[in-house]
Amino acid sequence: MKLKLAALALGAVMAAGPAMADLVFPSLSYRTGPYAPGGIPFADGYADYFTLLNERDGGIGGEKIQMPECETAYNTEKGVECYESTKGSGALVYQPLSTGITYQLIPKVAADGIPMLTSGLGRTSAKNGAVFPWVFNFPANYWDGASIAIKHMLDLNGGDISDKKIALVYHNSAYGKEPIRTLEELATKHGYELTLLPVDHPGQEQKSQWLQIRREKPDYVIMYGWGVMNQVAIQEAANIRFPMENFIGIWWSGSENDVVPVGEGAHGYKAVAFHNVGDDYPLYDDLKAYVFDKGLAAGAGDQHGSVVYNRGVYAAMLVAEAAKAAQEIHGTAAITPVMMRDGMENLEMTEEKMTALGLPKFGPEFKVSCENHGGNGYGAIAQWDATAGEWSLITDYFQSDQEVLAPLVEEDSAAYAAENGIEPGC
Amino acid sequence: MPEQLIWGMEVFLNGLMSGVLYALVALGFVLIFKASGIFNYAQGVMALFAALTLVGIMEGQVPFSHLINAIFGTEVHHFGWHVPALLAILLTMVVMVAMAWVVNQLIFRHLVNQEPIILFMATIGLAYFLEGFGDMMWGSDIKKLDVGLPQGLNPFIDEVTYNIFGYGFFIDNLDIVATVVAALLVVVLVIFAQYSKQGRAMRAVADDHQAALSVGISLNFIWVMVWSLAGFVALVAGIMWGTKSGVQFSLSLIALKALPVLMLGGFTSIPGAIVGGLIIGVGEKVFEFAIGAPYLGGATEIWFAYVLALIFLVFRPQGLFGEKIIERV
């Protein structure tokens, strides 16, 4: 009897788990909790792109894709549990949509030999592949975002912002504090005055911060927020009649979720972006034909074309391209996490490739290398049109200030290497 | 007048206004605790559920549409109509009363005479259930709530203060509305509790539910009534906070702002909730302005509210307006 039960249990496990040759891309999603409005569209986009590859191309290089989803509720402990429970399934790469989870996973992925991609989030100095061989953060990171916002201000002011006052309204967490050093270094270079305004989680009450902004009258406000903090900040800015075109959020403060609840008051608000917006791309035709119309869309199927949905699609597309590169390098379709890492380290995204994938002018061109896991640090500025109810890019992609950022990455990664006894090398 | 003093006055006024918003949430806790001795952990989630229901009704959203579509393969999302705000508020209130009845029938009538900690644990369960139920019923996307309340700078106050001080104060119109609504709510609740038959019955149940039962007061009716009243207060809080930040899951976290208010004002006093809210609102805003932002790097409001409440607790454990604790041996 016991033997039968054991055989049944084994059978159930084998049926539930992926076939050994499948390519496994776990999704550490958050469809519940206070940050679910951001987690849901990303998870849907991530899943739909892989479904498209399975339905249209039969997977990647003939290997079917499995995507086990694990709910983290944006909770760091749950995120680590999800990692531990899915890594044994042959996981090729992780993309936790959370800086807190990322920080916990950095030593774990290095020990387990599984690559991790943290596009636009996580530990910025992980860009230095010599110190963080298993972590990637292309095409842009938090510091790039801060620098791109400052460069945009420079462009608007004829290259001189030495007489300007800039306030940073930030989520009082590891994530929100990321750009502070960069903005301080850039303040030294460009001579602007920087004011720091932390907002505690969840950020529903920001009266003090915005009264201070009203009193001190900064010329520009940069925001590193997430969740309800974004909507409240934009509403408060509208309430005090702060000029929206001078209010610039990072990409995590630049989705429909952040501006729609504010209505007309959010018109003109800007955000830094590392990918394009909308659904006017050939890829969406394929998504419609192979995924949406077949009833295979993830979630409720109501997020298509939104900013964060597109980010999920883009995230899946980048790792899928890295998997193709890995298959090519190693001459096998059934790649391992170690091979996947090689693919990521040799990834090159060109406009020609993006066009072939059905996403022309969607993301910046970049090339990854052993030393550079973060790409070239290109971003653009998006602006919200409340009347049309849509975001649009108002600039081309331009590069962050590498003259300032490169030494910061070097310094921070060297400190991490020293703390953890890592011998940098490629 | 020194600039700092003028700014301090603006901060003080805004603190009062914020305090009113905190008090609106605290009122729901007080009502239920006063009548049944239950600390209702689910009060914040009730505000979220009420606001979700209100927006859903106003927008003509089909409840459980995601579930229906997933099971039956349909594509229904909206009924195609828009319900006026006032009617939607009334319909939401009907839903909240129905919820109060169900909560009482399924949970609390079975827990009469149980220890307070058991009742408290039941409300934790209720909170998690309601959170998931609301999500399943109305979806988890962020919804704009517009019942026609004014929002943004009040030009009259701005102009008057500018003429007096040479600096126009910022007072949010929504905060002014919240203040008026909270004042009306307190007056109505106090009159109801003191002078109506049901209000007196509620107080009798609160004092001694067995004695109340012996004179023919229906415990079930009183508890349903109290949960309905708390549902109404949750709806008002949900409207105010939902207008401010959009209706979304985070709305349930406003309960965090009510806890120090309750510690300070007492769990059994309706005016205490208001006074506690005002003290917390002013205290945290003035501290942030005078000490937090210039010397401590800012973001002191959340923890300072609790420190302030704890200081009061040391001197008055029952809160400012709570009933005095007398233990006889």
Using an 8 Å CB-CB cutoff, list chain A residues near B11: 208, 211
Q: Tell me: pLDDT of A24 over 70.
A: yes
Q: Tell me: pLDDT of A13 over 50.
A: no
Q: Judging by DSSP bridges, how do beta strands A220-224 and A270-273 pair with one another? A: unpaired
* Residue B325 domain flag: no
Question: How much is the pLDDT for B326?
Answer: 65
* Residue B323 domain flag: no
Question: How much is the pLDDT for A11?
Answer: 47
8 Å CB contact of A37 and B253? no
CB–CB of B89/B96 below 8 Å?
A: no
Distance from CA of A199 to the nearest CA of B (A): 6
Distance from CA of A316 to the nearest CA of B (A): 23
* Residue B329 domain flag: no
Q: Which of B141, B285, B289 sits opposite A37 (nearest CB)?
A: B141
Rg (C-alpha) for chain B, rounded Å, is: 21
Tell me what percent of the residues of chain A surpass a pLDDT of 90.
89
Q: What is the mean pLDDT of chain A?
A: 94
H or E stretch at A404: helix A402-420
CA dihedral of residues B146, B152, B157, B159 (deg, nearest 10): -130
* Residue B328 domain flag: no
8 Å CB contact of A239 and B172? yes
Confidence of residue A33 (pLDDT cuts 50, 70, 90): confident
CB–CB of B20/B278 below 8 Å?
A: yes
What's the CA gap between A163 and B188, in Å, rounded? 55
What's the CA gap between A290 and A293, in Å, rounded? 7
For residue A407, whether the previous peptide bond is cis, meaning omega lies within 30 degrees of 0, is no
Q: pLDDT, tens digit, for every residue of A321-339?
A: 999 999 999 999 999 999 9
Alpha helix stretches (DSSP H) within chain B: 3-36, 43-59, 65-72, 85-106, 116-138, 155-165, 173-195, 197-207, 209-214, 219-245, 255-265, 270-287, 293-296, 301-315
What is the pLDDT averaged over residues B7-16? 96
Q: Which residues contact B120 (CB under 8 A, 6 or more apart)?
A: B38, B39, B41
Q: Tell me: pLDDT of B268 over 90.
A: no
Q: First vs last Cα of chain A: how many Å apart?
A: 55
Confidence of residue B26 (pLDDT cuts 50, 70, 90): very high
8 Å CB contact of B151 and A235? yes
Q: pLDDT, tens digit, for every residue of A34-75?
A: 889 999 999 999 999 999 999 999 999 999 999 999 999 999
Q: Which of B14, B152, B289 sits opposite A238 (nearest CB)?
A: B152
Question: How much is the pLDDT for B256?
Answer: 83
8 Å CB contact of A32 and B140? yes
H or E stretch at A69: strand A69-71
**Tokens 């965090």 label which residue?**
B256
Q: Tell me: pLDDT of A2 over 70.
A: no
CB–CB of B270/B321 below 8 Å?
A: no
Q: pLDDT, tens digit, for every residue of A249-285?
A: 999 999 999 999 999 999 999 999 999 999 999 999 9
Quick one: angle between helices B219-245 and B43-59, nearest 10? 70
Using an 8 Å CB-CB cutoff, list chain B residues near A263: 144, 146
What's the CA gap between A36 and A11, in Å, rounded? 34
- Most B CBs within 10 A among A228, A240, A253, hence the mutation to make, goes to A228
Confidence of residue A19 (pLDDT cuts 50, 70, 90): very low
Closest by Cα among A246, A224, A277, A233 to A391: A277
Q: How far is CA B212 from CA A22, A308, B100, B191, B218, in A?
A: 68, 57, 21, 20, 8
Backbone angles phi, psi at A191, to 5 degrees: 80, 10
Q: Tell me: pLDDT of B43 over 90.
A: yes
8 Å CB contact of A207 and B141? no
Question: How much is the pLDDT for B325?
Answer: 63
CB–CB of A152/A395 below 8 Å?
A: yes
What's the CA gap between A155 and A149, in Å, rounded? 10
Q: Tell me: pLDDT of B156 over 90.
A: yes
Domains and CATH numbers, chain A: 13-140+277-377+409-420 (3.40.50.2300), 142-273 (3.40.50.2300)
Using an 8 Å CB-CB cutoff, list chain B residues near A196: 297-298
Strand partners, A380: A273
Q: Tell me: pLDDT of A186 over 90.
A: yes
Q: Which two tokens stand for residue A170?
A: 């930030």
Find, in chain B, the residue whose alpha carbon is nearest to that of A229.
Answer: B245
Q: Tell me: pLDDT of A5 over 70.
A: no
Closest by Cα among A207, A210, A175, A174 to A195: A210
What's the CA gap between A354 and A333, in Å, rounded? 22
**Tokens 């079975």 label which residue?**
B110
Question: How much is the pLDDT for B318?
Answer: 81
For CA atoms A171, A172, A176, A179, give the dihedral sign. Answer: positive
CB–CB of B172/B17 below 8 Å?
A: yes
Q: Which of A212, A235, A257 sits opposite B244 (nearest CB)?
A: A235
Count of domains observed in chain B: 1
Q: How far is CA B48 from CA A162, B96, B103, B241, B253, in A?
A: 46, 12, 16, 9, 9
Q: Which of A200, A205, A261 sits opposite B144 (nearest CB)?
A: A261
What is the pLDDT averaged over residues B271-293? 94
Q: pLDDT, tens digit, for every residue of A337-352?
A: 999 999 999 999 999 9
Confidence of residue A300 (pLDDT cuts 50, 70, 90): confident
Q: What is the ipTM of this complex?
A: 0.89
Q: Tell me: pLDDT of A208 over 70.
A: yes
What's the CA gap between A317 and A299, in Å, rounded? 19
Amino acid at A177: K
CB–CB of A130/A426 below 8 Å?
A: yes
Question: How much is the pLDDT for A18?
Answer: 47
Residue-range definition of the domain harbouring residue B125: 3-315
* Residue B42 domain flag: yes
Q: How far is CA B177 from CA A40, A294, B138, B193, B236, in A?
A: 34, 49, 27, 24, 11
Question: How much is the pLDDT for B329?
Answer: 62
Confidence of residue B319 (pLDDT cuts 50, 70, 90): confident
- Most B CBs within 10 A among A197, A208, A210, hence the mutation to make, goes to A208
Q: Tell me: pLDDT of A12 over 60.
A: no
CA dihedral of residues B182, B185, B190, B196 (deg, nearest 10): 180
8 Å CB contact of B285 and A197? no
Distance from CA of B246 to the nearest CA of A (A): 5
Find, in chain B, the residue whose alpha carbon is nearest to that of A197.
Answer: B298
Q: Tell me: pLDDT of A152 over 90.
A: yes
Confidence of residue A120 (pLDDT cuts 50, 70, 90): very high
